[in-house]
């Protein structure tokens, strides 16, 4: 188990602040965040490439904070894989084992096993220059896994792959992780990729971990406005509440919440229902005209312009046209109320821009 | 399909001016040949004195290049990778040979070699560093070591540090990483730099003039010999040796471009 406590570090102008993170044995953790949020820096600190200013990193209870990278037994696969260009695939995989002075026969055995697990038999004698993106990724993975690290750090390992290959490779990564029963930390900025591989995710911004949890849990209960926006909750409003109703402009949303005063209301577009056949009974109902619609691969996105402007996701089965008047309902259980103080410097969000 | 070439007066002017450089050098070589003629030029190539001078130049430049590499490779790596006191001062010093005349180096060496440890070495081991081949080696080494370090730093700067980080996480020490990962990756850059350093050592003249002085048969490496023969009015020797020097330079630069093509050291 890897435990990081109150980790702080600075690299030039960039600061990593108060990182607290736990990776359980056999767990696949995704680290998500926008560009420049500190994801790569964090895993470089874990790998030992940088020394933190304060805080501790423990592996199975042992403090490794001040150990050199070669003493940590933590694998690292950088974004460009960094395969040694002067070595063949086989030699790349054997590199770590030879560095640990393993006897030659054991090195050969381990390399052959890794080549077999990752299905690299046909490329074992090739140089890295002659490998495709997917092959390079497998070799980098094999090289890191051959040394049986306690934790494997993957820095955007799928970013160089095309969409189809990315999904397939994500599945493969997950299978490999389950096969070796190791703990993996996977950095990416795409939450679909994170959802494909991770048991749990941690979301970073500005050098801090803002929220950790399952993808479903974070989507349902974002901690603040940043998380809500990052998780593509497109309906985010600023309002006032008395603890049972949220007032947004002239609109009232029924939602019990523990706050009073200023509040941020978040509604995910896929949680908004379109009322069929003009049914308009119940709470949190709003009428509006379709201002814009966009057909996407798995759903249709509607911009509904009414008293409460909303973005709504619906199935592609029904066709909508610009100007159609519809009723929509936002069920109270799917409205997330965030205390205004959790969103420092939140701009006026009402009305939202499509 | 190649890229469509752009015409017009501006590209033509630039290409024309580039051609001027070539023309200057062709005229330089041709004027000497016209003055001396083919047969006489070839005649001097048959003289053993010519080959002795060439051999002295080759071996002294090779030894001083090797000595420069012994210091230049680790020093270039240190300047490229590590933070240490006076790093920027060292980084500036290695640029000095580009702007300071080697005559300055020669003048300084003159004062230093009469003191410790040089006087101690000459006393105990009977190796006197002065107007002999040791002096030649010392001048060549002093002039090229900073130059060599500069080029090595450029070679190492081109290798992303990520490779070293990955090697370390795989369990390799910095020492093993240097020899197994960094050096092989910098190979082309190092070889190309080595050729440039060798050519620089072979062409050294000003520092030698001050520190070693011209001694026939002892310190007359090619550029120095040209100077000696010029003073003696022996134009045949001067022309023949100039041609050899030109050929050496062209070979060195071509080799550097071919070997170090992808390393962009220069």
CATH 1.10.3470.10 for the A225-342 domain, yes or no: no
Look up the pTM and report it. 0.80
Q: Select from A47, A84, A85 the Cβ nearest to the Cβ of B169.
A: A47
What is the per-residue pLDDT for B67? Answer: 95
- Of all residues in chain B, the one with the smallest CA distance to A93 is B170
Angle at the Cα of B202 (from B197 to B205), degrees rounded to 5? Answer: 115
What is the per-residue pLDDT for B47? Answer: 81
The pLDDT tens digits of the residues spanning A120-153 come to: 889 999 999 999 888 898 899 899 989 989 999 9
Domain-by-domain residue ranges, chain A?
2-220, 225-342
CB contact under 8 A, B171 and A84: no
Closest CA to A330 of A266, A279, A278, A276: A266
A142 near B CB under 8 A: no
Which residue's entry shows tokens 């109320």? A337
| Helices and strands counted in chain A (H then E) | 8, 20
- Do domains A2-220 and A225-342 share one topology? The answer is no
The pLDDT tens digits of the residues spanning A55-100 come to: 999 999 899 999 999 999 999 999 889 999 999 999 999 999 999 9
In terms of Cβ atoms closer than 10 Å to its own Cβ (0-12, 13-18, 19+), residue A72 is buried
CB contact under 8 A, B168 and A48: yes
In terms of Cβ atoms closer than 10 Å to its own Cβ (0-12, 13-18, 19+), residue A60 is exposed
Contacts of A84 in chain B (CB under 8 A): 163, 167, 180-181, 184-185
Q: Is this complex scored with an ipTM above 0.85?
A: no
Using CA atoms, how far residue B57 sits from B131, B218, B238, in Å, is: 16, 11, 15
B83 near A CB under 8 A: no
What is the per-residue pLDDT for A354? Answer: 43
CB contact under 8 A, B165 and A96: no
Contact residues, A window 36-65, toward B, CB-based 8 Å cutoff: 44, 47-49
CB atoms within 10 A of CB B242: 18
Residue pairs spanning A and B at CB distance below 8 A: 66
**C-alpha span between B196 and A185 (Å, rounded):** 46
CB atoms within 10 A of CB A190: 14
Residues A149, A73: contact at Cβ < 8 Å? yes
Residues A57, A63: contact at Cβ < 8 Å? yes
CB contact under 8 A, A147 and B171: yes
In the predicted model, residues of chain A with pLDDT beneath 50 are 343-354
Determine the topology of domain A2-220 in CATH. Answer: Rossmann fold (3.40.50)
CB contact under 8 A, B165 and A44: yes
Q: In what order do the strands lie in the sheet with A235-241?
A: A251-254, A245-248, A235-241, A261-267, A335-339
């Amino acid at each position: 188990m890897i435990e990081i406590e109150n980790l702080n570090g600075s690299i030039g102008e960039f600061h990593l602040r108060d990182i607290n993170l736990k990776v359980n044995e056999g767990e696949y953790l995704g680290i998500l965040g926008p560009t420049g949020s500190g994801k790569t820096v964090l895993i470089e600190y874990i790998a030992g490439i940088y020394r933190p200013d304060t805080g501790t990193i423990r592996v199975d209870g042992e403090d490794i904070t001040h150990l050199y990278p070669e003493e940590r037994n933590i694998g690292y696969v950088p974004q460009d894989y960094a395969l040694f260009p002067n070595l063949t695939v086989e030699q790349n995989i054997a590199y770590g084992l030879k560095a640990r002075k393993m006897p030659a026969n054991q090195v050969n055995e381990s390399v052959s096993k890794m080549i077999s697990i990752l299905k690299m038999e046909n490329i074992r004698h090739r140089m890295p220059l002659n490998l495709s993106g997917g092959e390079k990724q497998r070799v980098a993975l094999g090289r890191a896994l051959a040394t049986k690290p306690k934790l494997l750090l993957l820095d955007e390992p799928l970013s160089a792959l095309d969409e189809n290959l990315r999904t397939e490779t994500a599945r493969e990564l997950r299978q490999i992780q389950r096969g070796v029963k190791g703990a993996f930390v996977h950095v990416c900025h795409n939450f679909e990729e994170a959802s494909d591989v991770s048991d749990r995710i941690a979301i970073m911004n500005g050098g801090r971990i803002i929220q950790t949890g399952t993808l479903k849990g974070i989507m349902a209960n974002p901690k603040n406005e940043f998380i809500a926006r990052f998780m593509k909750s497109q309906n985010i409003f600023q309002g006032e509440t008395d603890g049972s109703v949220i007032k947004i402009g002239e609109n009232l949303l029924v939602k019990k919440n523990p706050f009073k005063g200023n509040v941020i209301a978040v509604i995910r577009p896929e949680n908004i229902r379109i009322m069929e056949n003009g049914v308009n009974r119940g709470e949190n109902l709003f009428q509006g005209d379709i201002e814009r619609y966009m057909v996407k691969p798995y759903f249709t996105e509607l911009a509904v312009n009414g008293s409460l402007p909303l973005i709504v996701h619906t199935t592609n089965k029904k066709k909508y046209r610009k100007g159609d008047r519809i009723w929509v309902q936002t069920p109270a259980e799917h409205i997330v109320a965030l205390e205004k103080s959790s969103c420092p410097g939140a701009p006026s969000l009402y009305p939202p821009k499509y | 399909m190649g890229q469509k070439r752009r015409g017009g007066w501006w590209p033509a002017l630039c290409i024309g001016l580039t051609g001027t450089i070539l023309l200057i050098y062709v005229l330089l070589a041709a004027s000497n040949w016209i003055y001396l003629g083919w047969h006489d030029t070839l005649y001097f190539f048959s003289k053993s004195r010519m080959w002795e001078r060439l051999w002295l130049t080759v071996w002294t430049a090779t030894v001083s290049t090797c000595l420069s590499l012994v210091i230049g490779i680790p020093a270039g790596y240190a300047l490229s990778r590590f933070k240490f006191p006076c790093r920027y001062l060292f980084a500036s010093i290695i640029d000095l040979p580009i702007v300071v005349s080697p005559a300055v180096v020669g003048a300084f060496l003159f004062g230093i070699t009469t003191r410790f440890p040089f006087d101690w070495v000459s006393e105990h081991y009977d190796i006197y560093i002065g107007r002999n081949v040791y002096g030649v080696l010392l001048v060549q080494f002093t002039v090229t070591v900073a130059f060599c370090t500069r080029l090595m730093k450029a070679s190492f700067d081109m290798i992303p540090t990520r490779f070293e980080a990955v090697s370390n996480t795989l369990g390799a020490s910095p020492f093993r990483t240097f020899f197994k990962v960094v050096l092989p990756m910098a190979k082309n850059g190092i070889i190309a730099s080595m050729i440039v350093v060798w050519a620089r050592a072979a062409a050294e003249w000003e520092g030698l003039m001050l520190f070693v002085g011209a001694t026939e048969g002892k310190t007359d490496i090619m550029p120095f010999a040209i100077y000696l023969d010029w003073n003696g009015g022996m134009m045949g020797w001067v022309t023949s040796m100039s041609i050899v020097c030109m050929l050496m330079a062209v070979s060195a630069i071509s080799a550097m471009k071919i070997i170090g093509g992808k390393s962009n050291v220069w």
